[in-house]
A and B are shown apart, each in its own frame.
Chain A
């Protein structure tokens, strides 16, 4: 959308004004995330830039909040919990979601859209309602304040993402490949692992990433279901913000931003791989 050479003064003004507006919106999007990074190195226990930080005085910066994060057992515990819960629920959600997506993309599936609607519902229902419902349910069966309860709850919240991404990958799937495989003597299991899986892998991985981040970032269900021993990183940040506001949460936030940059890069690579593979398959 380059400016054409015949543009008049009005169009030229508008062209630059428009880009300026867009720049402001991009700044709005990115600034809060960038601001916390230098603030996490603040030597003072404030959420704000000190005089020393603005003059780039080396003494105004320190790693004390990172040290605090690493030496505080509550935080290290929550990191461990977050990973245990997120990894376990991602594995469960990915297996269940991928199988369901394979069934849903079969045109012979009866009541297809109803099933899809029900499977997607954990994503649509406001979290507070899901959390309240699950709280009563898991308390009744004695799974509140247990890892198993939170893992199952997070699995439920993560499956819609796996179903959606894998179903989307299967839209472009050439079903004659499975018939060809069966025709050549492969049993369904072999067909699944040797033919279907490699082709839908990008969808499965990106669904798994969504499930992972859903669990890793989830706090409402954890607020209702978790006891002290199951506190996750977001739960710890929640009480950090509400009770004792310390820049340690800025250090944690910075680390989490780095993790999301890594996730973003992974997804981008997957997208490119998926596009390459689509390009290879005929039609």
Chain B
């Protein structure tokens, strides 16, 4: 076999080493593919363990309901056959006393109380005080003694709530995040009007994000147009006005807006100096919705300008000239010939700005006051202050779902491969 591409008796083309060429090529392809996979694998594993699994675990917390089942195992077993029509039998009360005594001893019973309190307020104090008193109970029958410990044990609803939460998973946090709850009989109903906070908050987050996105389009369009049509040596200089804010620390820009907008700040000083407002009635521009919108628009504007600019840069000026020479007036030519060509840029920038703003945390937390905060701030509150991690998980999962939906939209419009940075 001296030739590189010999042919065997059955007509199969052979490579230099005598193997069929097809096998050789396949082997090379497999090797190539393996090499690609091996290059991607370290990062993929790293992101999987340090990011994807933690995020998934966090969303699992929104349905996890281990408290009652784990910390009150006897009651859970005894309630399995309870029909829910009337206060349970003595056997359930006996089991309850066992669990309360064990929980009081291990000091874990408070967790059950806290968990049940999310479903029905007042349950925490009932559980903890009963657990304390249960230490004195030494012999049955327990039913009458427990009913005397706390009047809520006579409520059928108490037992409905406990029974419902013996299940290892719950939709309770999601109901809470969607302003719904279980009523006395266990039916799912809307919260009363004055307690619907998260629905309003989601709605407000969407509305503020939409407003910021629209303001960004309006502000970015003219300057992108100017940047795209000016000669390069001018536009490169003007580009600094967009890129410098883009590269400046988020906290620096937020600090700057505090200096600009506070009541003794630069803008108010100017207004007073020019006599627009009285020194006594300085405008409240910060720690409210106005502050959030102004600061976030400033922070996100470069994310609108950059994609818009890169689309406008590719539009040849000849189309506009053709429209004008065919007799369209400049306004009509602009709206009907130029603008449709920039739609992809508007779409890309809008989705990007919208995605970034619905998940925003830092700026609203610092300049938002009470009416300028977003859903992220509420998640942080439940993570750090109220420690209701299940509700934080449910709110986070809902936010994540909307961001992922928008991301797929972005991917459809632009394609993640075409994302441009800087």
Contact = CB atoms under 8 A, between A and B. Distances in A.
A111 B257 CA distance: 45
Interface in A192-236: 206, 210, 213, 216-217, 219-220, 224, 234
A3 interface: no
Interface residues of A, number: 89
Interface string B103-125: 00000000000000000000000
A31 B260 CA distance: 9
A237 B251 contact: yes
A135 B43 CA distance: 20
B259 A164 contact: no
Interface in A70-94: none
B396 A263 contact: no
10 contacts: A30-B244, A47-B258, A48-B262, A100-B39, A104-B40, A108-B32, A128-B396, A132-B396, A210-B422, A256-B248
A1 interface: yes
A112 B362 CA distance: 34
Interface residues on B, range: 35 or more
A109 B404 CA distance: 24
B241 A26 contact: yes
Contacts of A161: 421
A18 B57 contact: no
A83 to B, nearest CB: 14
B204 interface: no
Contacts of B265: 47-48
B42 A99 contact: yes
A48 B264 contact: yes
B33 A163 contact: no
B262 A129 contact: no
B50 A134 contact: yes
A122 B256 contact: no
A163 B43 contact: yes
Contact of A33 (B245, B269, B421): B245
A33 B57 contact: no
A264 B247 contact: yes
B50 A152 contact: yes
Given A49-B266, A127-B361, A267-B422, 18 more contacts: A29-B245, A31-B260, A33-B253, A48-B264, A103-B36, A109-B40, A119-B43, A119-B47, A124-B404, A130-B55, A132-B393, A137-B57, A155-B50, A159-B43, A168-B420, A210-B421, A216-B249, A253-B255
Q: Interface majority SS on A: helix, strand, loop or mixed?
A: helix
Interface in A121-145: 121-122, 124-130, 132-137
A116 B29 CA distance: 21
Given A1-B230, A39-B259, A99 B55 contact: no
Nearest to B256: A32
Given A121-B47, A264-B243, A36 B380 contact: no
Contacts of A22: 222-223, 226
B167 interface: no
B366 interface: yes
A133 B366 CA distance: 23
Contact of B396 (A28, A29, A33, A129): A129
A159 B47 CA distance: 9
A118 to B, nearest CB: 6
Contacts of A177: none
B264 A126 contact: no
Nearest to B408: A117
Given A128-B359, A253-B252, A25 B403 contact: no
A125 B55 CA distance: 9
Contacts of B37: 103, 109-110
A134 B248 contact: no
B58 interface: yes
Contacts of B379: 128-129, 132
Interface in B17-58: 29, 32-33, 35-44, 46-48, 50-58
Nearest to A209: B422
A260 B90 CA distance: 72
